[in-house]
Amino acid sequence: MLRYDPIMQLEFFGAAGEVTGSCHIVRAGGRQLLLDCGMIQGGADAPARNRRAFPFAPGSIDAVVLSHAHIDHCGRLPLLVARGFRGPIYTNPACADLLPILLRDAAELAVREAERANRGVSRDDQRVTALFEPADVDAVMRQVRAVAYDAPFEPLPGITVRVREAGHILGSSSIEMWIEEADGYDAHGGVTRRKLVFSGDLGQYDTPILHDPFAFATADLVLMESTYGDRLHRGREDTTRELGAVLAQAARDGGNVVVPAFAIGRSQELLYLLAQHYGEWHLARWKVFLDSPMAIAASRVYWQHPDRFDAEATQLRASFRGMPPLPNLVLTETADQSRAINHVRGGALIIAGSGMANGGRVLHHLRHNLERPECHVVIVGFQAPGTLGRQLVDRVPEVFIHGRRLRVAAQVHTLGGLSAHGDQEQLLRWYDNFKDRPPVYLVHGEPRAAEALAGKLRERGTTATVSRPGLQIDLAGLPALAHDTPT
Ligand SMILES: [Zn+2]
C-alpha cells in the first residue's frame, strides 16, 4: 500500500512570467524538492513580495537543488531556512563558495535598509525588521552540500540529479534530473521514469573565462530560461570594439566611466577584457576601481576554480601569477576608500554594484557623475523593470537617487554583447542539441521575451508553453522520450 497519493509533478512559483524570483517545485515519491529559491528584484512591491509567506510550507520541503549563486536564484534561502526548511541544499563546489559572499551582502543590505526605514520611528510596533540577517545566512551555509559537476547523486530516494555547466557565471549549472515513481500509474506495479532538464540561467557561447553551456541530448521535459528570448546580442567582437571606443571617447571627454556590474560574473569578465586589451586601449591612462567588497571576494573565488575556466582564460591565468592581471587596478574594500573615489573628476573607470543600480555603492558614483556630460555610464547586464539601471537604458531624462533629482547628462551605453545570458539564437542553439524535440516550459523571462522564444520553438515543431505561477505539470502524463539513465 502506498502511504501517499502517487504524484509526479512540477509546479512553478517564481520566475514564471518575470525574470527574477526563480523557484520551482518537483514532487515525487511523496517528497518535495525545490529548484532554486530566488529573490524577487525590481518593482516597488518587491520587498513586500519577498517577505510574503511561501506558497508551500518550508518545513515540508525535503531538499533544494540550486542552479547558481545569483540572488534571484538563491536570495530567499535564508527565509526558507528561518521559516522551517531543514533539508540539504545541493549545488556545485564553485557555487557553494560564492553563495555565502552573495547572501551575506544581501543580508547586510537588508539590515541597512531596515535601519534606514526605522530612522525616526519611535514606536516598536511600527519598526520593520530586516528581511534576513547575516546569522540567517550562516544557518543556510550549514545546510549546503557541494556536489561535483557531471557526477550523478541522489538528493532524495527516486530522484537522481547531475549538475552540468551552464556557462553563465562561475559555478552556474543546468540541472539534469531523473525522477522515478513506483506507483499506481502502472497497473502492473512498475516504475514510471521521467527526465527533466532545467536550464538554469544560460550563458553566451564563447564567453570569456567560462566553458560553453553543456549540450544535453535527451529530456522528457525542458524548463528553460528566456531572459533574452526576444533579442539578439551584438557579436562579442563588435561589443569588445564598442567598449574600446567608449573608453577612447571617455578619455577624450575627460570624465569618468561608471559601470554598474554584478559582483559575480560581469565584474570578472570586464577585468579580463581590460587585461586582454590593456595596451590596445591605452588603459595605462585610466585608474580602474573595483569598488565592491563582494566583487573582490568573488574574484578571488573565481581564481580558485581554474577547472571551470576555458582554455583561453587558463592561458591568460598562466601568464599572470596573481589575480587580477591589471597593473592599474585599485581594489576598494572599505567605505572610506569608496568615498574617496567621489573626488576623482576624470580618468576613473569605476566598476561597482549593484548590477541593476538598485542599491549599493554604484548609486554614489552615479550621483556624482550622472549630471556631468563628460562622463559615461556603461550598462553591461540585464536591467529589470523598475530598477534605476532600466531607467538609464530607457533614457529617462531625470532620475532620483537617495531622494535627489538628477538630470541625466552623462552618455549612457548599453553593451548587450557582454550579457551573462545567451540571446535568442544562443538559447535556440542550446535547445537544438536535444533529440526528439522535448516539450519546453519557459521561465525567467518577461512575457514578451518568453512568448517570442516560444514562437521560435513552435516553428521547430516543439510544444512550447510560457509558464505562470501556480501552473502544475503532471510529469507522468508526458510521453517518455528520454530513455537514458544516469551513469
Ligand atoms: Zn543568473
Cell numbers found for residue 372 = 556631468
pLDDT in tens, 314-362: 776 665 544 456 889 999 999 999 999 999 999 999 999 889 998 889 9
From the CA of 445, how far away is ligand 1's center (Å)? Answer: 12
From the CA of 300, how far away is ligand 1's center (Å)? Answer: 19
User: Residue 179 in contact with residue 194, Cβ under 8 Å?
Assistant: yes
From the CA of 70, how far away is ligand 1's center (Å)? Answer: 5
More confident residue, 264 or 253: 253
From the CA of 471, how far away is ligand 1's center (Å)? Answer: 23
From the CA of 160, how far away is ligand 1's center (Å)? Answer: 23
Q: Is 378 exposed, middle or buried (0-12, 13-18, 19+ CB in 10 A)?
A: buried
Highest mean pLDDT among 14-18, 23-27, 383-387: 23-27
Taking the CB of residue 187, how many other CB atoms lie within 10 A of it? 6
Query: Of the ranges 146-155, 293-302, 375-384, which one carries the lowest mean pLDDT score?
Result: 293-302
What does the alpha-carbon distance between residue 251 and residue 246 come to, in Å, rounded to a whole number? 9
From the CA of 68, how far away is ligand 1's center (Å)? Answer: 7
From the CA of 98, how far away is ligand 1's center (Å)? Answer: 13
SS3 121: coil
User: Residue 104 in contact with residue 138, Cβ under 8 Å?
Assistant: no
Query: Of the ranges 49-58, 313-322, 418-427, which one carries the lowest mean pLDDT score?
Result: 313-322
From the CA of 146, how far away is ligand 1's center (Å)? Answer: 19
User: Residue 423 in contact with residue 230, Cβ under 8 Å?
Assistant: no
pLDDT at 303: 80
Query: Of the ranges 70-84, 259-273, 430-444, which one carries the lowest mean pLDDT score?
Result: 259-273
From the CA of 74, how far away is ligand 1's center (Å)? Answer: 10
The per-residue pLDDT of the chain, averaged, comes to 91
The DSSP output letter for 400 is: E
Question: Which of the four pLDDT bands, split at 50, 70 and 90, describes residue 399?
Answer: very high
From the CA of 88, how far away is ligand 1's center (Å)? Answer: 21
From the CA of 69, how far away is ligand 1's center (Å)? Answer: 7
pLDDT in tens, 80-125: 999 999 999 999 999 999 999 999 999 998 998 899 889 988 888 8
What does the alpha-carbon distance between residue 260 and residue 384 come to, in Å, rounded to a whole number? 13
Q: What's the length of the chain?
A: 487
In percent, the amount of the chain with pLDDT more than 90 equals 67
Q: Which residue has the cell 542550446?
A: 430
From the CA of 99, how far away is ligand 1's center (Å)? Answer: 12
Cell numbers found for residue 399 = 532620475
What does the alpha-carbon distance between residue 76 and residue 387 come to, in Å, rounded to a whole number? 19
User: Residue 130 in contact with residue 113, Cβ under 8 Å?
Assistant: yes
| Span 428-451, average pLDDT | 94
pLDDT at 249: 97
The DSSP output letter for 226 is: -
From the CA of 219, how far away is ligand 1's center (Å)? Answer: 22
pLDDT at 200: 96
| Span 400-423, average pLDDT | 92
* Bridge partners, 191 (sequence order): 182
User: Residue 289 in contact with residue 332, Cβ under 8 Å?
Assistant: yes
pLDDT at 338: 96
From the CA of 73, how far away is ligand 1's center (Å)? Answer: 7
From the CA of 172, how far away is ligand 1's center (Å)? Answer: 8
From the CA of 424, how far away is ligand 1's center (Å)? Answer: 16
Q: Render 6-68 in DSSP notation, one character per residue.
A: ---EEEEEESSSSSS--EEEEEETTEEEEE--PPP-SSTTHHHHHHSPPSS-GGG--EEE---
User: Residue 130 in contact with residue 111, Cβ under 8 Å?
Assistant: yes
Would the pTM count as exceeding 0.75? yes
From the CA of 140, how far away is ligand 1's center (Å)? Answer: 19
From the CA of 87, how far away is ligand 1's center (Å)? Answer: 23
Q: Which residue has the cell 576601481?
A: 289
More confident residue, 435 or 265: 435
From the CA of 193, how far away is ligand 1's center (Å)? Answer: 29
In percent, the amount of the chain with pLDDT more than 70 equals 94
From the CA of 203, how far away is ligand 1's center (Å)? Answer: 9
More confident residue, 144 or 234: 144
From the CA of 201, how far away is ligand 1's center (Å)? Answer: 5
pLDDT at 313: 76
| Span 459-479, average pLDDT | 93
More confident residue, 53 or 324: 53
pLDDT in tens, 222-240: 999 999 999 998 888 888 9
From the CA of 409, how far away is ligand 1's center (Å)? Answer: 31
From the CA of 380, how far away is ligand 1's center (Å)? Answer: 14
pLDDT at 264: 83
| Span 167-183, average pLDDT | 92
Q: Is 67 exposed, middle or buried (0-12, 13-18, 19+ CB in 10 A)?
A: buried
From the CA of 413, how far away is ligand 1's center (Å)? Answer: 22
Question: Which of the four pLDDT bands, split at 50, 70 and 90, describes residue 184?
Answer: low
From the CA of 80, how far away is ligand 1's center (Å)? Answer: 20
| Span 418-431, average pLDDT | 94
The H or E element that residue 349 is part of is strand 348-352
From the CA of 290, how far away is ligand 1's center (Å)? Answer: 20
What does the alpha-carbon distance between residue 389 and residue 404 come to, in Å, rounded to a whole number? 16
From the CA of 19, how far away is ligand 1's center (Å)? Answer: 10
What does the alpha-carbon distance between residue 410 and residue 305 come to, in Å, rounded to a whole number? 37
pLDDT at 3: 45
From the CA of 9, how far away is ligand 1's center (Å)? Answer: 25
Nearest to 325 by CA among 248, 273, 257, 266: 273
From the CA of 357, how far away is ligand 1's center (Å)? Answer: 16
From the CA of 199, how far away is ligand 1's center (Å)? Answer: 11
